[in-house]
Amino acid sequence: MHSRAPVTPLGRPEPDAPPPALAARYYTDPDTAAAETRHVFARSWQLVCHESDLPQPGARLAAAVADREVLVVRTEDGGLAAHLNVCRHRGTRLVTAPEPAGKAIRCPYHGWTYRLDGSLVGAPEARQIPCLDKPALGLLPARVESFLGFVFVNLDPDAVPLAESCAGLAEAVGHYADADLVPVGRARIHDLAGAEVQEANWKVAVDNYLEGYHVPVAHPGLMRLLDYQGYTCDIDESYVLFASPLREKPSSNWAERLYQRIAAPMPGLAEADRRIWRYAVIYPNTLIDFYPDHVLAWTAVPTAVDRVAVPGAFYTRRGTGLRTRLARRLNMHIGWITNDEDAELVARVQKGLSTPGFEPGPLSRRESAVGWFADRIRADLDR
């Protein structure tokens, strides 16, 4: 599964060429999908919710991470904790639907009770349990970190802190997002069951987000709105940040034209952010759009080798003015059109990728981030 240095048709090395795309089997092979669960999803930072989803001490929610379920709670001191959502007695799932906040986590089976930090408080009729070593029977921990106000969980105790691996990203877009953002609409990141499902391997969806090369052909609206030649892509080790300026020339489409005219920033943004759309990918599957008028955070969660759920939510700042709110509505309308175009494309890619004998061709320099992602996936699966 090693990537080879790209070569020209004459066999000469091409030093600034993007790494090769992933071989087709990465997108279609169930064994690869199973290996990803262990080597990609169980070892990386997974976006599970926003801080606003856990408003007060005792608030809790369950989120799927790799092949496990994690219980994320707001602790007494206002911090965050994450535990595997499994009772240490006989394995009952502790939290299912969203539950009211409370000082403890009580198992619905025999009533073993845990503090928010996961330690075991006690069990009913504890004297009847000869080997009840309470300190050893706390909930199994997971790592949790808040980054730009978004809550991430990692099952790997040795993982590099997210704040460390994404320090440059926080510097570049930290003024867009924090714990005080408020959600717009009903969608929530942790609502996996309510999420849109696309008919593609999760990496096809991420690949699609990682390049603007398809914009001129596949997204006529974006092409009218964005300055394609000004599209930039900064690739770091653990994230990629894209920026695309809005075009000055008025679009022929009324909604796009109105958006261009009224585009206005949320409180806290600089004038320089007013006419730029930014997108970030945090390896492997967190995707965040930073618009002047809102932030959209979503994630690509495989539900089968050829299916991906894309739960996500829209956020804004308190005190956002009417003009920015109107711009947000127009932007979301434009975004749904782009989303539908992309959903159809990724399904087409998935169909084509499963053609026996097919292998992808060379990547454009405009797809460098697709090559970056391919290298990261190959490295993870080779470990």
Give the interface with Fe ion as residue ranges (CB under 5 A): 342
Q: Which stretch binds ligand FES (CB under 6 A): 52-60, 86-94, 206-214, 320-328?
A: 86-94
Q: Is 236 helix (H, G, I), strand (E, B) or coil?
A: coil
Separation between Cα atoms, residue 201 and residue 349, nearest integer Å: 9
Separation between Cα atoms, residue 112 and residue 292, nearest integer Å: 48
Residue closer to Fe ion (CB basis): 256 or 342: 342
Q: Which stretch binds ligand FES (CB under 6 A): 37-45, 108-116, 206-214, 285-293?
A: 108-116
Question: Interface with ligand FES includes 104 (CB under 6 A)?
Answer: no
Tell me the closest approach of the beta carbon of residue 308 to Fe ion, in angstroms: 15
By CB under 6 A, name the one of 23, 65, 87, 353 that touches ligand FES.
87
Question: Interface with ligand FES includes 90 (CB under 6 A)?
Answer: yes
Residue closer to ligand FES (CB basis): 111 or 161: 111
Q: Which stretch binds ligand FES (CB under 6 A): 72-80, 102-110, 183-191, 294-302?
A: 102-110
Tell me the closest approach of the beta carbon of residue 234 to Fe ion, in angstroms: 19
Tell me the closest approach of the beta carbon of residue 42 to ligand FES, in angstroms: 24
Separation between Cα atoms, residue 57 and residue 360, nearest integer Å: 50
Residue closer to ligand FES (CB basis): 129 or 337: 129
Separation between Cα atoms, residue 151 and residue 362, nearest integer Å: 36
63: enclosing H helix or E strand: strand 60-65
Number of chain residues interacting with ligand FES (CB under 6 A) = 9
Q: Give whole-number Cα distances, 66 to 32, 35, 40, 324, in Å.
A: 14, 11, 8, 37
Compute φ and ψ for 150, nearest 5 degrees.
Answer: -95, 145
Q: Which of 57, 86, 87, 97 is nearest to 73 (CA)?
A: 57
Strand partners, 367: none
Residue closer to ligand FES (CB basis): 123 or 295: 123
What residue 145 binds from ligand FES, Fe ion, none (CB within 5 to 8 A, per partner kind)? none
Tell me the closest approach of the beta carbon of residue 218 to Fe ion, in angstroms: 6
Strand partners, 154: 143
Residue closer to ligand FES (CB basis): 62 or 269: 62
Question: Interface with ligand FES includes 126 (CB under 6 A)?
Answer: no
Structure tokens at 326: 């109107």
Beta carbons within 8 Å of 200's beta carbon, 6+ residues apart: 27, 306, 307, 308, 346, 347, 349, 350
Strand order in the sheet with 182-184: 182-184, 312-316, 295-299, 286-290, 276-282, 239-245, 232-235
Tell me the closest approach of the beta carbon of residue 70 to ligand FES, in angstroms: 17
CA dihedral 148, 154, 157, 163 (to 10 degrees): -20
Question: Interface with ligand FES includes 110 (CB under 6 A)?
Answer: yes
Residue closer to ligand FES (CB basis): 87 or 280: 87
Q: What is the length of the chain?
A: 383
Residue closer to ligand FES (CB basis): 109 or 358: 109
Question: Interface with ligand FES includes 137 (CB under 6 A)?
Answer: no
Tell me the closest approach of the beta carbon of residue 123 to ligand FES, in angstroms: 7
Q: Which residues in this chain contact ligand FES in the complex, by CB under 6 A?
A: 87, 89-90, 92, 107, 109-112
